[in-house]
């Protein structure tokens, strides 16, 4: 019986020839990850368990990205726990403010994660690295603690769903629109406990940035992991970047899927998810007149250089609407630097946008752009739950950087075409 790419990676890490959906395995991990919210709990459990050393100081990554630069005294205390632990354990992959970026943008960019890896992270969007052809999934702090000690984790081999996209994308349609469309189609639990495999000629032609955005949001459909088989684009991306040797897996022709869905990608419009669930997706043509107060371009979903280029291209020479605040938050320092080099920062600042150092910030309602009651934001982030960006009576609309930038100019949810 054939295996899917996910099953093959899991089998390789469990030291088995074959695994089957539903099977419980112990998998060896290539990378384990924590952040300033989840790692403090894991570190205290690590210590309570009497552990002295992490299993491998090169494979435990701690990234203080959520409430940093420290937003208040409590978050400063949390970040300090990470910093001290990283020093004590001599962790190679601890990134201080100034080098820090949003974890799921940073790890692929720095070549810390690579094709064929098995990765867990105490953050739900750890599923992002599936774009590289890795198995990666989000877990909790106790799992992180146990993995920091043992370098292993227990996993149930997920059933697989396949999403096949065919055709050429329309103008302004990105990976973000594809994944919002899928979540709108299957719902926020449409892939519960399952693996989501994206393929088809549309995906083969999709940039790594677009792929990362798609796999990033697998969790928004309840998925255990999102994954795309490595190809030319993957190899190109990993070249000179990957710290370890990538291993390329692919699904067998006779691999088993519990569900196969085909999409005519050419027909998919720019898509916006209305409050308060990512599954409330609507094509742009059906959005209607939605006035907004804030725009956020950034996060682990859409804070990469391609996203910044797209938003800048649309807003170049225009002004942010007088009733809108626009926040642009590059996901990593490298993205920030590249924005300077390409003159993107200038474009945003000239338009009247605030550009900040990398942070999760407003994405989780942490800091740097919190909404008041009744306010609405268009954000390139991944969650629009009640209270996600501030007051429980505020609203978040999820969209691509193209929609976000156009909306910043018009003051209501708009596509770039409306600017001409």
Partner 1 sequence: MKFTGKVWKFRDDVNTDEIIPARYMNTSDPKELAKHTMEDIDKDFMKKMKPGDIIVGGKNFGCGSSREHAPICLKEAGVACVIAKSFARIFYRNSFNMGFSIVESQEAAEDIKEGDTVEVDLGNGVINNKTTDKAYKVAPYPKFMQELINAGGLMKYVQRQK
For 337-384, list the strands marked E by DSSP: 354-355, 376-379
Exposure pattern of 281-314 as b/e (b: 16+ CB <10 Å)?
bbbbeebeeeebbbbbbbbbbbbbbbbbbbbbeb
Q: Decide: 18 and 108 in contact? Cβ < 8 Å.
A: no
What string of DSSP letters covers 250-274? Answer: ---TTB--SEEEEEEGGGPPPEEEP
* Candidate ranges 33-41, 173-181, 227-235, 404-412; the one touching partner 1 (CB under 8 A): 33-41
Smallest separation (angstroms) from ligand SF4 to the CB of 176: 13
Quick one: which of 40, 108, 230, 358 contacts partner 1 (CB under 8 A)? Answer: 40
Which residues touch 47 (CB under 8 Å, ≥6 apart)?
Answer: none
**Spatial strand order in the sheet of 195-199:** 225-227, 195-199, 160-166, 259-264
Binding to partner 1 (CB under 8 A) within 218-277 occurs at: 219, 222, 224, 277
Q: Is 139 in the site for partner 1 (CB under 8 A)?
A: yes
Quick one: which of 12, 118, 214, 363 contacts ligand SF4 (CB under 6 A)? Answer: 363
* Candidate ranges 109-117, 154-162, 308-316, 358-366; the one touching ligand SF4 (CB under 6 A): 358-366
Q: Is 146 in the site for partner 1 (CB under 8 A)?
A: yes
Q: Decide: 329 and 68 in contact? Cβ < 8 Å.
A: no
The partner in contact with residue 299, picked from ligand SF4, partner 1, none with C-beta cut-offs of 5 to 8 angstroms by kind, is ligand SF4
The token duo for 400 is 């691509």
Quick one: which of 60, 82, 91, 102 contacts ligand SF4 (CB under 6 A)? Answer: 102
Quick one: which of 143, 159, 197, 209 contacts partner 1 (CB under 8 A)? Answer: 143
The partner in contact with residue 300, picked from ligand SF4, partner 1, none with C-beta cut-offs of 5 to 8 angstroms by kind, is ligand SF4
Per the rule left: phi > 0, alpha: psi between -120 and 50, beta: everything else, 159 is beta
Q: Which is nearer to partner 1, 77 or 201 (CB)?
A: 77
Question: SS3 for 152?
Answer: strand
CA distances from 59 to 25, 49, 120, 358 (A): 21, 20, 11, 23
Count residues near ligand SF4 (CB under 6 A).
13
Binding to partner 1 (CB under 8 A) within 287-346 occurs at: none
Quick one: which of 133, 366, 401, 415 contacts partner 1 (CB under 8 A)? Answer: 366
Interaction site with partner 1 (CB under 8 A): 24, 37-38, 40-41, 44-45, 48-50, 66-67, 71-72, 74-75, 77-78, 121-124, 126, 138-143, 145-146, 149-150, 154, 188-189, 192-193, 219, 222, 224, 277, 364-366, 370, 383, 385-388, 390, 392
């Amino acid at each position: 019986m054939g295996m899917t790419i996910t099953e093959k990676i899991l089998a390789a890490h469990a030291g088995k020839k074959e695994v089957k959906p539903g099977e419980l395995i112990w998998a060896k991990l290539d990378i384990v990850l924590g952040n300033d919210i989840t790692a403090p709990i894991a570190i205290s459990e690590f210590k309570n368990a009497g552990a002295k050393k992490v299993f491998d100081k090169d494979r435990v990554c701690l990234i203080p990205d959520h409430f940093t630069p420290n937003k208040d005294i409590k978050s400063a205390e949390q970040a300090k726990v990470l910093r001290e632990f990283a020093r004590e354990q001599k962790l190679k992959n601890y990134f201080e403010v100034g080098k820090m970026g949003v974890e799921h943008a940073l790890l692929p960019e720095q070549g810390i994660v690579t094709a064929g890896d098995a990765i867990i992270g105490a953050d739900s969007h750890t599923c992002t690295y599936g774009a590289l052809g890795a198995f990666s999934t989000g877990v909790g702090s106790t799992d992180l603690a146990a993995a920091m000690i043992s370098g292993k984790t227990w996993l149930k081999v997920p059933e697989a769903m396949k999403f096949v996209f065919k055709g050429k994308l329309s103008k302004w349609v990105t990976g973000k629109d594809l994944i919002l469309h899928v979540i709108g189609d299957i719902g926020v639990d449409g892939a519960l406990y399952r693996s989501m495999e994206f393929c088809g000629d549309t995906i083969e032609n999709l940039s790594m940035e677009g792929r990362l955005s798609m796999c990033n949001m697998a969790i928004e459909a309840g998925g255990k992991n999102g994954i795309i088989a490595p190809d030319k684009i993957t190899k190109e991306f990993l070249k000179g970047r990957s710290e370890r040797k990538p291993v390329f897996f692919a699904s067998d022709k006779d691999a088993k899927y519990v569900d196969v869905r085909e999409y005519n990608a050419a027909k998919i419009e720019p898509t916006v998810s209305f409050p308060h669930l990512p599954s409330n997706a609507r094509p742009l043509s059906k959005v209607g007149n939605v006035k907004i107060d804030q725009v956020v371009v950034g996060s682990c979903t859409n804070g990469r250089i391609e996203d910044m280029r797209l938003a800048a291209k649309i807003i170049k020479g225009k002004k942010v609407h007088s009733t809108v605040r626009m926040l642009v938050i590059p996901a990593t320092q490298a993205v920030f630097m590249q924005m300077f080099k390409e003159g993107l920062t200038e474009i945003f600042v000239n338009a009247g946008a605030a550009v900040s150092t990398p942070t999760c910030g407003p994405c989780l309602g942490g800091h740097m752009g919190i909404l008041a009651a009744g306010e609405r934001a268009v954000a390139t982030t991944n969650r629009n739950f009640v209270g996600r960006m501030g007051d429980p009576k505020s609203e978040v609309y999820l969209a691509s950087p193209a929609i976000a930038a156009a909306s910043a100019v018009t003051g209501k949810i708009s596509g770039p075409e409306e600017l001409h």
